[in-house]
Amino acid sequence: MEVKVEPTQKLLSDDGNNHFGNYGAVKGVHSGHNGVGNGRKPRSDTQSNNVVLSCHDINYLVKTKVKKQKVFKPILKNITAVFEPGMNAILGPTGSGKTSLLDILAMRKDPNGMSGQVLIDGAVPPPDFRLISGYVVQEDIVMGTLTVRENLTFSASVRFRKTVSKADKKRRVQEVIEELSLQDCAETKIGNVYIRGVSGGERKRTNVGMELITRPNILFLDEPTTGLDASTANSVIMILSKLAQRGRTIILSIHQPRYSIYRMFDKLHLLSKGETVYHGKANKALDYFKSLGYHCEEHNNPPDFFLDVINGDSFAISSIDDELGAVEEGKPKTEPVPPKDLGDVFLKTQAYMTMKSKADEIYETFLNVEAAGGAKVSYPTSFLRQLFYVSGRATKNILRNPKSSYMQVIVLAFIAVIVGLIYFQIDKSASSGIQNRVGAFFFVVTNMIFGNVSANEVFIAERTIFLHESAGGFYRVSVYFFSKVFCDLLPMRIVPTFLFAAITYWMIGFRPDAAASFIYALTLIATAVSASSLAFLLGACFNILAIANLMIAMAYVFMMIFGGLLINIASLPSWVQYLQYLSIIRYAMNALSINELRDQEFCDPPVANTTQNCIEGNDYLETQGISFTDWAMWENIVAMGALTVVCLFLTYVRLRNIPRFK
């Protein structure tokens, strides 16, 4: 089953404020910048437009296996609800479907298995609703090497139109910092495994701030108090409550909040096994359950009480006399409330009837409004502008991670010196000249190959950030791809490899020719880049570093076998020889061998009364099945370039196809 899709009401204007018509979605919101698209100053939060989100008969099924047979398991069942401006909390025990419902409301759920309709102000959300709403995930996803202010500035830079001045962006960032009480840590880095950063509460508030930059009139939060202590969680929810009081519609899923947090909720939606057991005002929930025979004892936390009722662990006082008697005798006189299907019970209550009437009115309006065609929300910034800011952030991240960036250069330079000393000023004798050179080639090439295994971390280390930001409309997938590839290849692969080539070429004593040294460096760079591209591909395909490392190691070992040194390729069966065309090591070895050995003669020192022993480099190349024409060397370099292009293309395709939604 799929979600019913209807055309969106037309936009009335596109001046930076995308306004929907009478029943349009999210008034005053556009692609992450409201009221600033035309260069005007950002409007005050007190001017937020009231947004009503409703869902109608939402069902969600997932495929699972029971006794080796595929069956559909219901996660949500006939959910109908209306969420108005204010604090709307979705509460329920683990596995009740809280996050699934939140994701469906935010249009971040895979539509397969879903049915029903989600409306915003009586209209279908635009196709890219993610661009005009805020969504704070459960995990804290911000760049650890950037400060709080830099993270917020990045969000503003990629989500505001270029017509918004830098001063306005800076002013908006400062407003968010003050709204979230982040003044004391604004210039502090978020922190990662190498850097000590801000506290958990400050990190969570920064996550919220990344979304608030755009002033979305509707904000979704998945378990915003996870990992926070009681006091910090309370302060985070208090800030959200203040934002809700200014007209925002805030919808959050939460598991078991303390009472001080619960009392800040305006509306409560309780779930049990995918069914609604209560939807209404939070301060009326206790009275509702009391009317069903469930009495919350004094000093008991209401959310805990609700979960006990839902899980069937609650006891109800049978009568006032029993309650008084229990106190007098010092022992409880309670009896379990007979089991009830709370979902069915709720459908017969006045609370449900009131909510259903309002939802039906919204849906009827939706059906009666003539569709004017789907309006697609576009990115507020261009490809090049996004590339500039995302690349700038990637560069800062590299420079502020010395253990993973500078060490790449230092280690490679150190290995270059070691290799240079081992093969220092290699001789040109017939007995060892060619062998030592080929051995040096193999050592150098394999070092280039295995030295760039770290490239598979590029799309694994920041995978969660990429998925969240691309799903949230921060930037295009192509922007992230090009920024990461360029910012990794140049400083981490090309520059260190050029330094390695400059050290080893003259220390080893290869052919003293400037053109030959250039080709040597170019070949090593092509080797490093093609190896890194393969690592990019595997890093994009696997989200577990250990598996990616295993796969890349297997690929490199396979390439070593067909590299030309461990076995003579010409001696293999013809059908096996074709595998050499997949070996980066083979191409690199061929190019280096042609560059160094072609038209060279290797002779042992002359001995009296004996014929001098000499070997032609061309003869050796011929015995190895290596063509040594002028174009043959460039063929190998071009082949590595072709492999690079193929791997990068497949990497991009994989990034585009990674599911953004659950």
Grouping H, G, I as helix, E, B as strand and the rest as coil, residue 222 is strand
- What would the pLDDT profile of 315-373 be if each residue is shown by its tens digit? 544 333 444 444 445 544 455 555 468 888 899 888 899 999 999 999 888 887 654 44
Q: What percent of the chain has pLDDT over 70?
A: 85
Reply yes or no on whether the pLDDT at 22 is more than 60.
no
Reply yes or no on whether the pLDDT at 281 is more than 60.
yes
Beta strands in 29-183 (DSSP E): 53-66, 69-83, 86-91, 114-120, 134-136
Alpha carbon 583 to its chain centroid, in Å, reads 32
Cα–Cα dist 243/425, whole Å = 72
- Minimum mean pLDDT range among 18-27, 184-193, 377-386: 18-27
Map 353-373 to HEC letters. Answer: HHHHHHHHHHHHHHHHCCCCC
- Minimum mean pLDDT range among 124-133, 165-174, 517-526: 124-133
pLDDT at 632: 87
Calculate the average pLDDT of the chain: 82
Is the sign of the CA dihedral 616, 618, 620, 622 positive or negative? Answer: negative
Cα–Cα dist 497/493, whole Å = 6
Reply yes or no on whether the pLDDT at 5 is more than 60.
no
- What would the pLDDT profile of 606-621 be if each residue is shown by its tens digit? 776 667 788 888 888 8
Beta strands in 288-388 (DSSP E): 315-317, 334-336
What the block records as the tokens of 556 is 């490199």
- Minimum mean pLDDT range among 138-152, 323-337, 426-440: 323-337
Grouping H, G, I as helix, E, B as strand and the rest as coil, residue 394 is helix
- What would the pLDDT profile of 37-59 be if each residue is shown by its tens digit? 333 333 444 445 688 999 999 99
The most confident of 61-70, 286-295, 516-525, 578-587, by mean pLDDT: 516-525
Going by pLDDT thresholds of 50, 70 and 90, the confidence category of residue 431 is confident
Mean pLDDT of 368-388: 73
pLDDT at 609: 66
The most confident of 304-313, 414-423, 564-573, by mean pLDDT: 414-423
Alpha helices in 476-544 (DSSP H): 477-488, 495-508, 514-541
pLDDT at 573: 77
Cα–Cα dist 78/574, whole Å = 64
Residue from 442, 449, 438 nearest 527 by CA = 449
**What is the H or E stretch that residue 14 is in?**
strand 11-14
Residue from 539, 512, 491, 474 nearest 131 by CA = 474
- CA angle, 220 then 469 then 126, to 5°: 60
pLDDT at 87: 94
Grouping H, G, I as helix, E, B as strand and the rest as coil, residue 346 is helix
Contacts of residue 517, defined as CB under 8 A and 6 or more positions apart, other chains included, come to 501, 505, 506, 510
DSSP state of 226: T
pLDDT at 335: 52
pLDDT at 519: 94
Residue, of 527 and 27, whose pLDDT is higher: 527
Going by pLDDT thresholds of 50, 70 and 90, the confidence category of residue 429 is confident
Cα–Cα dist 401/458, whole Å = 13
Q: What percent of the chain has pLDDT over 90?
A: 35
Mean pLDDT of 490-514: 91
CB 163 within 8 Å of CB 42:
no
* Cα-trace Rg, the chain: 33
CB 263 within 8 Å of CB 284:
no
CB 551 within 8 Å of CB 455:
no
The full DSSP string for 179-198 is HTT-GGGTTSB---SSS---
Is the sign of the CA dihedral 34, 40, 42, 46 positive or negative? Answer: negative
Residue 81 dihedral angles phi and psi, to the nearest 5°:
-160, 160
Neighbouring CB atoms inside 10 A of 579's CB total 15
- What would the pLDDT profile of 55-88 be if each residue is shown by its tens digit? 999 999 988 877 777 888 889 999 999 999 999 9
CB 536 within 8 Å of CB 455:
yes
Going by pLDDT thresholds of 50, 70 and 90, the confidence category of residue 132 is confident
pLDDT at 57: 92
pLDDT at 377: 63
pLDDT at 615: 87
Residue, of 215 and 532, whose pLDDT is higher: 532
CATH 3.40.50.300 in the chain is located at: 11-284+350-368
Sheet with 134-136, strands from edge to edge, namely 134-136, 218-222, 249-254, 86-91, 267-272, 275-281
Going by pLDDT thresholds of 50, 70 and 90, the confidence category of residue 256 is confident
Placement of tokens 């049978």 in the chain: 318
What the block records as the tokens of 363 is 């849906």
- What would the pLDDT profile of 650-660 be if each residue is shown by its tens digit? 999 999 998 87
pLDDT at 233: 85
The full DSSP string for 235-294 is HHHHHHHHHHHTT-EEEEEESS--HHHHTT-SEEEEEETTEEEEEEEGGGHHHHHHHTT-
Grouping H, G, I as helix, E, B as strand and the rest as coil, residue 471 is helix
- Minimum mean pLDDT range among 33-47, 144-158, 487-501, 571-585: 33-47
What class is the 11-284+350-368 domain?
alpha beta
pLDDT at 314: 54
Let me know how many helices (H) and strands (E) the chain has, helices first.
24, 15
What the block records as the tokens of 145 is 């090497």
Reply yes or no on whether the pLDDT at 155 is more than 70.
yes
Grouping H, G, I as helix, E, B as strand and the rest as coil, residue 173 is helix
Residue 601 dihedral angles phi and psi, to the nearest 5°:
-120, 135
What the block records as the tokens of 236 is 């985070």
Mean pLDDT of 419-428: 90
β partners of residue 251 = 88, 220
Grouping H, G, I as helix, E, B as strand and the rest as coil, residue 382 is coil
Cα–Cα dist 583/375, whole Å = 49
Residue from 439, 453, 600 nearest 533 by CA = 453
Neighbouring CB atoms inside 10 A of 5's CB total 12
Grouping H, G, I as helix, E, B as strand and the rest as coil, residue 18 is strand
Reply yes or no on whether the pLDDT at 439 is more than 50.
yes
Mean pLDDT of 535-547: 91
Reply yes or no on whether the pLDDT at 649 is more than 90.
yes
pLDDT at 44: 43
Going by pLDDT thresholds of 50, 70 and 90, the confidence category of residue 551 is very high
pLDDT at 8: 34
Mean pLDDT of 557-578: 77
Reply yes or no on whether the pLDDT at 151 is more than 90.
yes
Identify residue 325 by its one-letter amino acid code.
Answer: G
Neighbouring CB atoms inside 10 A of 500's CB total 27
What the block records as the tokens of 445 is 């090439």
pLDDT at 483: 94
